[in-house]
Copies of this chain bind each other. A is one copy, B any other.
Amino acid sequence: MKLTQRKIYSILKQHGYKLTPQRRAVVQVVTSSSDHLTPNDIYEKICDIYPGTGLVTIYRTLEILAELGLICEVHSGGNCRSYTMGSQQHHHHLICSGCGIVVDFTSHYLNSLEKNLSEESGFRIDGHLLEFIGLCRKCQAVP
């Protein structure tokens, strides 16, 4: 299930958030890229769409989108966070530390692991974060 811009707009509205041009711009940028984007990447791209938008607004919008599960946060090793489109289907990331490319994958392993853990620990598990870091085929070739 892929989230269209329209769908995101309506979800935002449903939750009582106003639809400002800045928010539209952020949504547009995020949905139109399959890469993971740092707030700064988004900021730069937004200069073309809706100039004058502040970086602060982008941070605040990303926070909302992440909270609603419309995008997901990626911790790609470095010191800055980045975001990528979230299909509502739970997925995980395989990140290349060389070029930064992100490969999504899903795994049924996690479901059973989560169930076991929950039973053993008594936790009510709400979510998880799984990321693999490595080098993609291309970057392995380049020294």
Contact = CB atoms under 8 A, between A and B. Distances in A.
Interface of A: 73, 75, 77, 79, 81, 94, 96-97, 103, 105, 107, 109-110, 112-114, 117-118, 121-137, 140
B114 A112 contact: no
A129 B126 contact: no
A117 B81 CA distance: 24
A135 B126 contact: yes
A92 to B, nearest CB: 9
A73 B140 CA distance: 21
A77 B96 CA distance: 18
A117 B131 contact: no
A95 B77 CA distance: 15
